[in-house]
Structure 1
Amino acid sequence: MADLVPRAAAARLSELTAHLRVVMVSGPRQSGKTTLLREHLRSGGTFRSLDRPETLAAARDDPATFATSGSIPRIIDEVQLGGDRLVRAIKADVDAHPEPGRFVLSGSSRFLTIPTLSESLAGRVAFVDLWPLSMAERTRSGSDAVTRWFGDIGSVMSDSTWTRPGYLAAVTAGGYPEALTITSALARRAWFDGYLSTVITRDIRDFATITRGDAVGTLLGLVAARAGGTAVLADLAQSANLARDTTRNYLSYLDMVYLTTTVPAWSSNLTSRLGKTPKLYPTDSGLAAHVLGVDADALAEPGHPALGPLVETFVAAELLKAIAVAGQRISLFHFRTADRQEVDFVLEGPGGRIIAIEVKASASPGASALKGLRWLRDKLGDRLHAGILLHLGTEAASRGDGIYALPLSSLWDHQPLASP
């Protein structure tokens, strides 16, 4: 993977900058934001990174001059380090010069969700989410599977050549571009250790006070181990030996730096007994495998407790990445009732159409795996566009009445990994 992997977000970035004044590229550290921005710069402009101490000092000392200097587009990497005064200087510049494409900003934290900052650029900024590499990008398939699922579901009914060992290798690899180039297990562990240390000691401490940095990593491990279960704050606090308020704060910090994502409960008028507790997932299955201390060989052991959570984390991440570049607005939820009818993921698309997804870390899941999908189909009727059971086998099959069993590799059109 030494060559440059084409990013699906590049087309979205180009289209938005052609029409809007400010575009914000957000995502976790090391997801490829700087590379994407430098590629965008090929058509001209100015690139500055606030990761450089002298550049950061200039932005903080005189934000107005910094914001108005350089040719257009002005690309500012790690802009969150410049803080409120820089954001307000950017606002002043785009208000004075309201043509599109003036600024492309990037950041490794959700700092623009802070009310005072988001209000500063309200109506002036559009967002591009850049996650670690998707399997569609790693395989160069160019697949937009989620959008196609909302079309003719029959068009994706094809068998796969992917096998269980290949799936487990993909799950434990994750998608961080640099980590994917490392072939030494020791060096890969060192990379993830350094990555977590940087995020905790630098990125989080830029906006929060942490008294127990070790507890942040502990919480990430707990989220990874319990991925797919609902996030009960009291349980996490007790397991991490933290106060509830501290646990709540630390979980919000993990979300702010894109290491975890919250999948809300889907609500409807189907029943008054719907669960409302969200699910938490790590955003990269490779990082999750690292904090759990497992590799593909370990996951291959029968009954390994991390297998289900990691496969579900992998699917959650792939869905996030697909939604971020989909050709239509799609929202991600989970579904659970008080009497334990549940579906792992619910995609709500245009017109309120629903795709329900169940994930099983098995090559041949039994009929019981369809229970939640069938319950939801009976309740939703024609509103359910499709129920999909994703599995680690090779065969695609219709299970009747709009429910399909598909190999997991349907998410990337079953393409093999591209040669490095």
Structure 2
Amino acid sequence: MTDMDAYERPHVARLLGLLEEDSSMRIVAITGPRQTGKTTIARQARSRLEGTGRMCWYVPLDDPTPDESDAPGLLTGVEAIPAGSSQDERWLVGIWESARRAAARLDRGLVLVLDEIQHIARWSNVVKGLWDGDRRAGRNLRVVILGSAPWQMLTGLHESLAGRFTAMPTPHWSLGEMARAFDLTVDEYIFFGGYAGALATVPGSERLATWRDHIARAIVAPAIERDIVGLTRITKPALMRQLMDLAPRYSGQLMSYNKLLGQLQDAGNTTTLARYVDLLSDAGLVTGLSRYTPAPHLGKRSSPKLNVLNTALMTAPAGYTFEEARADRSYWGRLVESAVGAHLYNTRHTATQLHFWRDPPHEVDFVIARGPHVLGIEVKSGKSRRASGLEAFASRFRGAGTLVVGTGGIPLNEFLSLSADDWLEET
């Protein structure tokens, strides 16, 4: 099993490319759900930069006394934070000014990495003003920002950051990455999912309880409490917590909002619940897929099909061991289908939409759509269902492609090795 910190995701090379090639000098924002390795990517890129002789400062904004070895010279001229206080806008400005002075002394300028940016209140307004000043002055200072929360929650829905930031998304780890880093088989990936940090701390199934605890306490709880409840306006936080407890149990199933409300203790309405599902999706936890229809507004009115975006969110609270999950054919079938849905959602391009299709008695597990390109996908994991859903789908939507994944079709490991858009273009 490989040390997680030693494994280098492709995003490291992409970040280095953005820092070298982006002539606009925009700030690079490393975005993505919790525990996808954003900090590791930034630190690995920093090591690579320093190996070429380029200075890079790494500053964790959740630490009032950063390590001088991560940013030599940073604290010179930066106002110290009194004991018991937290960082504020003035401290961020002080760091930036110190980086400006260092960049002016260096032939190749400076790269400043600001981690845990959400710890600075109103950080986006401060950063916008500082960046605008750097562009006017022509300073050779490149900035990378990271935050534990998803980008939309970090910036707010109404912030105007266009033209200043280049987003570098970091999705959940793929099968290929988990196999290379941890020697996972495809079935192990289906069960343990793509949280590398959780698996790195729990190398064997004998410590399954520790792995489950890591998923609950280090991933789900802070994603709900710090990211969703802490950074967005949530009128019913108890309802949000209950929804996250319940939703993974129904991954791979159609679930009406009224039926969901009937199983939740806190009062709410379908509009509130639909918004909360959208927030869980933004946080990289659970999404609600709408029914495919050429008229998108009609699909939005349908009951959603819930799908976890990392299968660990489904298996960790379920209590199954790996062997027990494999033996329960019904549960394993839903798990495989959820893994395919998570892979399609996490690897699709921004313009590519993921849906399901249902016209009783026919249904198709997933539909990928981008412009005129449409692909219906049926997932089979030893089940004896006929492919009548795909046949009806192809008959209804002329020109649409169809694909069977699993038993009798594309092997699961082969399917998970290509992105949603790769399959859309291949068929």
Counterparts of 1:280 and 1:266, CA distance in 2: 14
Residue 49 in structure 1 maps to residue 49 in structure 2: no
Counterparts of 2:322 and 2:223, CA distance in 1: 25
Matches within 5 A, 1:110-189: 110-112=150-152, 119-140=159-180, 167-181=186-200, 182=202, 183=204, 184-189=207-212
Counterparts of 2:341 and 2:13, CA distance in 1: 23
Counterparts of 1:205 and 1:50, CA distance in 2: 21
Partner residue in 2 for 1:152: none
Partner residue in 1 for 2:115: 77
Matches within 5 A, 1:396-415: 405-413=409-417
Counterparts of 1:237 and 1:75, CA distance in 2: 43
Residue 30 in structure 1 maps to residue 35 in structure 2: yes
Partner residue in 2 for 1:229: 253
CA contact 1:23–1:103 (8 Å) conserved in 2: yes
Q: Cα 1:313–1:9, aligned 2, differ >3 Å: closer, same or farther? A: farther
CA contact 1:273–1:337 (8 Å) conserved in 2: no
Residue 94 in structure 1 maps to residue 117 in structure 2: no
Residue 317 in structure 1 maps to residue 355 in structure 2: no
Segment of structure 1 superposing worse, 314-323 or 275-284: 275-284
CA contact 2:152–2:282 (8 Å) conserved in 1: no
Counterparts of 1:197 and 1:269, CA distance in 2: 37
CA contact 2:134–2:141 (8 Å) conserved in 1: no
Determine which of 369, 391, 406 is the counterpart of 1:374: 391
Measured after TM superposition, the shift of residue 63 of structure 1 is 3.8
CA contact 1:31–1:133 (8 Å) conserved in 2: yes
> Partner of 1:31: helix, strand, or coil?
coil
One-letter code of the match for 1:51? D
Query: Sequence identity, in percent?
Result: 24
One-letter code of the match for 2:374? I
Q: Cα 1:358–1:95, aligned 2, differ >3 Å: closer, same or farther? A: same
Measured after TM superposition, the shift of residue 291 of structure 1 is 1.9
Structure 2 unpaired stretches of 5+? 50-54, 67-84, 104-109, 419-427
Counterparts of 2:98 and 2:257, CA distance in 1: 46
Counterparts of 2:273 and 2:316, CA distance in 1: 22
Partner residue in 2 for 1:158: none
Q: Cα 1:381–1:338, aligned 2, differ >3 Å: closer, same or farther? A: closer
Partner residue in 2 for 1:266: 292
Please report the TM-score for the alignment, with normalisation by the length of structure 2. 0.74
- Number of residues paired by the alignment? 368
Partner residue in 2 for 1:207: 231
Q: Cα 1:103–1:231, aligned 2, differ >3 Å: closer, same or farther? A: farther
CA contact 1:33–1:130 (8 Å) conserved in 2: yes
Q: Cα 1:298–1:332, aligned 2, differ >3 Å: closer, same or farther? A: farther
Q: Cα 1:331–1:200, aligned 2, differ >3 Å: closer, same or farther? A: same
Q: Cα 1:118–1:112, aligned 2, differ >3 Å: closer, same or farther? A: farther
Measured after TM superposition, the shift of residue 367 of structure 1 is 6.0
Measured after TM superposition, the shift of residue 264 of structure 1 is 3.9
Structure showing greater relative contact order (alpha-carbon pairs closer than 8 Å, 6 or more residues apart): 1
Offset from partner CA, 1:353-375 (integer Å, 9 cap, x none): 2222122232xx4461x222222
Counterparts of 2:286 and 2:404, CA distance in 1: 24
User: Which structure has the greater CA radius of gyration?
Assistant: 2
Structure 1 unpaired stretches of 5+? 142-164, 396-404, 415-420
Q: Cα 1:255–1:366, aligned 2, differ >3 Å: closer, same or farther? A: closer
Please report the TM-score for the alignment, with normalisation by the length of structure 1. 0.75
